[in-house]
Amino acid sequence: DGGITQSPKYLFRKEGQNVTLSCEQNLNHDAMYWYRQDPGQGLRLIYYSQIVNDFQKGDIAEGYSVSREKKESFPLTVTSAQKNPTAFYLCASRYAGGRGNEQFFGPGTRLTVL
């Protein structure tokens, strides 16, 4: 089945540790995105990538890093510089040639920093 997978579903880390969240898609989508959701907030954009080996900062990129070495994969690293990393992280992808701008989302990763 085609789709977007994020792993793990739940992740716990100690304060001060870097952690990498996985995002893989087999939809042959060109663009991929990382969002963060906090209670009472909408989805806020962290980073996005329109093609392999290229990515742009979103509204809240500080304390995060990404890579896009393969079309299918867009991992997000939450570094120790991120001041409030506990949140629900969502990865999305989009086919650039599509008729609309629909993004398709993965199931999300709940990160809790202890």
> Binding residues for other proteins, per CB under 8 A?
4, 6, 30-31, 33, 35, 40-45, 48, 50, 58, 88, 90, 92, 94, 96-98, 100-108, 110
**Minimum distance of other proteins from residue 48's CB (angstroms):** 5
* Least CB distance to other proteins at residue 110 (A): 7
Between 33 and 82, CB nearer to other proteins: 33
Q: Which two tokens stand for residue 79?
A: 């570094």
- Give me the least distance between CB of 20 and other proteins, in Å please: 19
**Nearest to other proteins of 6, 82 (CB atom):** 6
Contact yes or no for 58/113 (Cβ under 8 A): no
Report in angstroms the alpha-carbon separations of 38 from 33, 48, 85, 105.
Answer: 17, 19, 10, 16
- In angstroms, what is the C-alpha Rg of the chain? 13
Report helix, strand or coil for 1: coil
